[in-house]
């Protein structure tokens, strides 16, 4: 029985939603959240649970072996869910160093400490980007060869392979999950949906790469959280599980949908130079997760997107506080103009 779970990167988008989900669905569970609080780690994301006696926060770096050792040595942890990661392709193109340090060295540090302390379960939360790019047809399965095309996805693929190696070499109880593009509340506004919502609400341009032909499969973050929990509780050590939303959209179609939903004109669209090595299409086959974990996506995209838009409308202060700091400087560097 898993009672004490270490979640790394829990102040980020997916991590904060996962912690909230786990606390709501298991009253016996205790969670320790470790986060370095880099630019996308925001303690405000968990303000509603910070006084819950079942929740504790520790600020620290998963690549710091002494820190990780101290946490596992004193906390009686049963399981680890690793979401700590540098996670934006554009940032990895500008500087891959932090991605190597956190995503690879950090994972290796966690794995070594988890082995020493006999952790019962370890879930490595990864991405469909490790598979590379699809053409017009086909889907990523767990058997698709890894072909990462950005420094970010290469660092995540490296971490996945470390988990695989530890499972094979040491009999380590590791599981890897790979998911398509997430959306929902608390997502840092460098990602397309929250960025475009915030920009549109402020009547600022929406920068679309190339012609907007790139296709992504969209999954609501709570569906992803349910998948992670299912893998944690019912997954087979050494296995990989893919989670997707069965909702493929071209970036331009997503952009037009957002503008229509917000009552904003298409003239806000600004086509910008395409990202180097931009993958054309991602699409996930979830058959294995459906059969082995009894999981499937539940949130309809139209409903989920509407609720997400409403959340950002109601939390403009949260967005404003983020956009006035670290991200504002990055955005200005990347796009040559200031945020609203």
Catalytic option among 128, 160, 190, 279: 128
326 is catalytic: no
Q: Say if strands 215-220 and 248-250 run parallel, antiparallel, or are unpaired.
A: antiparallel
Alpha helices in the chain (DSSP H): 13-25, 65-75, 89-94, 97-99, 106-116, 151-170, 192-201, 221-234, 251-262, 287-293, 301-314, 316-323, 326-335
Tokens at 10, concatenated = 């829990």
Catalytic option among 55, 122, 131, 152: 152
142 is catalytic: no
Catalytic option among 35, 61, 129, 160: 129
331 is catalytic: no
Q: Cα–Cα distances in Å, from 285 out to 80, 147, 178?
A: 26, 17, 11
Q: How far apart are CA 57 and CA 70, in angstroms?
A: 14
Q: How far apart are CA 140 and CA 284, in angstroms?
A: 5
Q: How far apart are CA 40 and CA 38, in angstroms?
A: 6
**Cβ proximity of 124 and 232 under 8 Å:** no
Q: How far apart are CA 243 and CA 227, in angstroms?
A: 7
Annotated active-site positions, please? 128-129, 152
């Amino acid at each position: 029985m898993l009672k004490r779970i270490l979640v790394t990167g829990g102040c980020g988008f997916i991590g904060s939603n996962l912690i909230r989900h786990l606390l709501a669905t298991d009253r016996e569970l205790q969670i320790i959240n470790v986060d370095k609080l880099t630019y996308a780690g925001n303690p405000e994301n968990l303000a509603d649970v910070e006084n819950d006696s079942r929740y504790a926060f520790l600020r620290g770096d998963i690549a710091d072996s002494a820190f990780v050792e101290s946490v596992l040595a004193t906390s009686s942890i049963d399981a680890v869910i690793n979401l700590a990661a540098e996670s934006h392709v554009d940032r990895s193109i500008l500087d891959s160093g932090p991605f190597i340090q956190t995503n690879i060295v950090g994972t290796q540090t966690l794995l070594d400490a988890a082995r020493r302390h006999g952790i019962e379960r370890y879930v490595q939360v990864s991405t469909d980007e490790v598979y590379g790019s699809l053409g017009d047809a086909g889907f990523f399965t767990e058997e698709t060869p890894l072909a990462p095309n950005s420094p970010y996805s290469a660092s995540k693929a490296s971490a996945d392979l470390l988990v695989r190696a530890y499972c094979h070499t040491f009999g380590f109880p590791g599981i890897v999950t790979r998911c398509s593009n997430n959306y929902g509340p608390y997502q840092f506004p460098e990602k397309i949906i929250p960025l475009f919502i915030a920009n549109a609400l402020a009547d600022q341009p929406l920068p679309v790469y190339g012609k907007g032909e790139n296709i992504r499969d969209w999954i609501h973050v709570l569906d992803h959280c349910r998948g992670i929990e299912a893998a944690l509780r019912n997954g087979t050590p050494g296995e990989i599980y893919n989670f997707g939303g069965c909702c493929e959209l071209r970036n331009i179609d997503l952009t037009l949908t957002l503008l229509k939903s917000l009552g904003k004109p298409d003239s806000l669209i600004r086509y910008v130079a395409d990202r180097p090595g931009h993958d054309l299409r991602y699409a996930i086959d979830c058959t294995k997760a459906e059969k082995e974990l009894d999981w499937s996506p539940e949130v309809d995209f139209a409903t989920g997107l509407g609720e997400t838009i409403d959340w950002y409308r109601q939390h403009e202060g949260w967005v404003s506080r983020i956009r006035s700091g670290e991200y504002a400087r990055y955005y200005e560097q990347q796009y040559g103009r200031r945020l609203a």
